[in-house]
Structure 1
């Protein structure tokens, strides 16, 4: 593919957009052709100045989510468009169609089930025909989840140890702030959930496991609950106490199940997946804390869907385009462990951990490295096109890049 740019960062004037551009300025190989895009050339120029000498010559592109022609023109100039402009249900539909039509690879940070479903239904066939890879959720949602399950599958297959069965991700460490963009996406989802059909889609555990126009009908109990505490020993004998539900499980689990769908069920006929969060190993204390987390998640979602309480919460929640101080971003961290037992009875664990606020610094690294993998590692990528997941689109190439960027990403058998 001969294009003017390798990567265009769209939304570079936003908080996470600038962090992603900064990561590329610091870590992209010399000669990588990068441009910055957004609605205001003046603001883009200010961002470019802050990025330092490596970005001094990066071109600026004016493009607007409400101007499809400007998005078409932008996509036609680049191999990869890397977008942080959300909520994607509000601002992303035109861009995903533009990228698919132009045969341009695409990465974003969405955590919105209805948007990915829209993308599958409207862009998958176009992207498959043009050769585009449309890859959603390339940040903290949902790379640790998706690569954790994928790496288990790959390791188990190499060992000839059978297939995966019940699989659980446990967030063992999480220090950082909630992104203003994530909160804004929750506002949009809460509003959509008032519609019965949309609510059924959001609650469907297999909402993303289908081709264009084919959403599988799956009961809410066909997979583990996204909102229930879990006995840690049932996840793995090495664990203690009670695990709380992870607040992004209702999205991340759908992405992991889509990866299994796209890989033709390679994870196993008995593969079932859930996500949890560690709240300590003391049984009574952890059970109480897990209950508090469960009630808190439910209460938060309920408050977001009720206009009067949402207005009060909007006064204290972070605003879109804002974020924590550099010191806070640097002192954050996350760690996840994903456990499974195979059909042969062998136990495995994968893990991912990194320094940096998971919703900001670490996400900027994950998104930036995803864009670099699509742009520069094309000979290593799986031969798959259409609306994909990080694991299916980039797999080992992305794992290698994250490891080089300082992430710990590994899997092994437990004895």
Structure 2
């Protein structure tokens, strides 16, 4: 399909907290000549945001709303790529996916919502394949470090002729940052849905819930999202203890979808899990149990009306976020460890400065969109509902390195 549009990238939801950060990142770092627009429900608020951005005086403003499908279609027709930060996506997102899939417009979001991802795949994957659109969910801390971390690992193993990936574990080695109100709101929506819908509960719990072909997935036994491991259980010489990682239930499904979309190139015995380090002290086992229990308690609390009322009063609300000083002080490091079918061991690392859910996410989301808009000839030949690795892959890794991320791979 010939792609002739007035704009290269539009930030939809630019008046929200992460939307503003993403628009600001693009204003400061997009190549000169990139045609960028801002979209949302309120022209007045969008104009105020535009005034606050360096060099954004001429950026067009598009008024669009999740409850006005025609406005979303007009938005999709105006640009090569839409960035959307308007969530929860299960509540507000599917009509924009439809519009982009129908109009051949590339799409990126920050969704960590498995049920929304499944709906997007079932409803619009084939439409997007037909139009040439790349619908790319999870382009922030959920789930680029996970998906790219495995992607670069796989590519190095393949280049070395070292076989296929087998047991693979991501360890969040260090993390400093806050939890976004949008993430909490998505959790509320998930709890509400799985509490009342048995089918949704089954989809959310399935390890291959984002698979393009569930019947073709390998039967590898139980793959739990709640793992408490010794470092030595993951790789020789790795010290300390680990606890479950709160985003693992989404990230693992995204990575497994990448494997399946590539015809299981990572391996038919590829098993993937995610954990976070809780250190090496004598209290580490207690900390691991505390993290696991805390995650369970949060989900249970959101499901029980009296405790949910109390939690809603103290948890971050959508649109809220930390101060600039706090965002700048954040950081993250993720390390992925794998053993191949030849017995070789490899590890990859993704590390970046900035609060993972805000500052670093704005970089990841912005660079994902710029790659889709400006680097199309260098991207994998793919369309449909994709993942960061299968839609953007090496080019995204290159862009993030140029933006200051460390992305490395080595044989152990």
Fold similarity call, TM over 0.5? yes
Please name the residue that 1:364 is paired with.
362
Please name the residue that 1:72 is paired with.
73
The unaligned stretches of length 5 or more in structure 1 are none
Please name the residue that 1:248 is paired with.
247
Q: Indicate conservation of the 8 Å contact 1:99/1:106, yes or no.
A: yes
Specify which of 330, 334, 339 is matched with residue 336 of structure 1.
334
1:23 Cα offset (Å): 0.3
1:234 Cα offset (Å): 1.4
Q: Indicate conservation of the 8 Å contact 2:40/2:46, yes or no.
A: yes
Distance 2:67 2:221 in 1: 39
Please name the residue that 2:111 is paired with.
110
Please name the residue that 1:51 is paired with.
53
Distance 2:133 2:193 in 1: 29
Distance 2:351 2:274 in 1: 16
Please name the residue that 1:197 is paired with.
199
CA RMSD of aligned residues (A): 1.3
Please name the residue that 2:42 is paired with.
40
1:320 is paired with a residue whose SS is coil
1:231 Cα offset (Å): 2.2
- CA deviations 1:346-366 (Å, max 9, x no partner) are 110000010000000000000
| Closer/same/farther in 2, CA of residues 217 and 393 from structure 1, 3 Å limit | closer
Distance 1:259 1:76 in 2: 28
Moved over 2 A (4+): 214-219, 221-224
Give the 5 Å matches for 1:4-403: 4-52=6-54, 54-194=55-195, 195-211=197-213, 222-282=221-281, 284-403=282-401
- 237-246 or 351-360: bigger deviation: 237-246
1:287 Cα offset (Å): 1.4
Distance 2:240 2:15 in 1: 44
Distance 1:216 1:247 in 2: 28
The unaligned stretches of length 5 or more in structure 2 are none
Distance 1:16 1:223 in 2: 36
1:193 is paired with a residue whose SS is helix
Distance 1:355 1:34 in 2: 25
1:147 is paired with a residue whose SS is helix
Distance 2:17 2:347 in 1: 34
1:148 is paired with a residue whose SS is helix
2:279 is paired with a residue whose SS is coil
Aligned length, in residue pairs: 409
1:190 is paired with a residue whose SS is helix
| Closer/same/farther in 2, CA of residues 42 and 34 from structure 1, 3 Å limit | same
1:224 Cα offset (Å): 2.8
1:217 Cα offset (Å): 8.4
Q: Indicate conservation of the 8 Å contact 2:218/2:269, yes or no.
A: no
Distance 1:378 1:8 in 2: 17
Q: Indicate conservation of the 8 Å contact 1:239/1:281, yes or no.
A: no
Distance 1:38 1:259 in 2: 31
Q: Indicate conservation of the 8 Å contact 1:62/1:70, yes or no.
A: yes
2:189 is paired with a residue whose SS is helix
Distance 1:249 1:223 in 2: 15
Distance 1:265 1:217 in 2: 9
Distance 1:306 1:334 in 2: 32
